[in-house]
Amino acid sequence: MYRFERLVNAIDPELAEHGRRTGRLACDIAERMHLDSEDIADLDQAAFLHDIGKLFIPRTILDKPGPLDANEWAELRHHPRMGYQLVTGEVSEKVARIVLTHHERFDGTGYPQGLSGTQVPIEARILQVADAFDAITSDRPYQPALPVAYALNEMRRCSGSQFDPDVVDAIMALAGRAKWVLARFGQFEERLAEVAV
């Protein structure tokens, strides 16, 4: 794991930071859902590694400021399998499988295998929510950071399709705690209570 951490930090520090932020959020959700400590440790490791396959995707695709075309999307969708192939044999099979399945969707329309519901490991279902939440609330080449309240509304809107409803319920419960929002995001946003359950 240490070798991978050094690799990602050296090649793409922003990707490394995204992995760390996503891991902290995923572990908070997992604790809220009462996963055991071993599962949470596996999730934390997988969260840091989940996008490692993007190291093999051209920067022109990753940094493109506008929408991707069909060919670019097809190439980007290879990153979970590439990441899985890279980490297999270096981490536990469970951690590698979370990396592989982090873009599967609850409704079965994700990739690379089209898994649905509980076919997707619970850790990967948690990682999906944490990953999307961090992507929405962080600056990206194609969009500036959006408010926490907006991200929560997206989680709710996609509950049952992209995301496991139980995981969405867990992040909503966390977001209803002002201290958690302060600790994770550094400020309490206006109207957050209106969107939190």
User: Quick one: tokens of 11?
Assistant: 């090649």
pTM higher than 0.85 for the full model? yes
Burial 93-115 (b: 16+ CB within 10 A, else e): eebbbbbbbbbbbbeeebbbeeb
Go through the domains of the chain in sequence order and give each one's CATH number: 2-195 (1.10.3210.10)
**Cα three-residue angle 84-85-90, rounded to 5 degrees:** 85
Per-residue pLDDT 10s for the chain (197 aa) are 667 888 888 999 999 999 999 999 999 999 999 999 999 999 999 999 999 999 999 999 998 988 999 999 999 999 999 999 999 999 999 999 999 999 999 999 999 999 999 999 999 999 999 999 999 998 877 788 888 889 999 999 999 999 999 999 999 999 887 667 666 666 544 444 444 44
Could you tell me the sign of the dihedral formed by the alpha carbons of 192, 184, 163, 75, in that order? positive
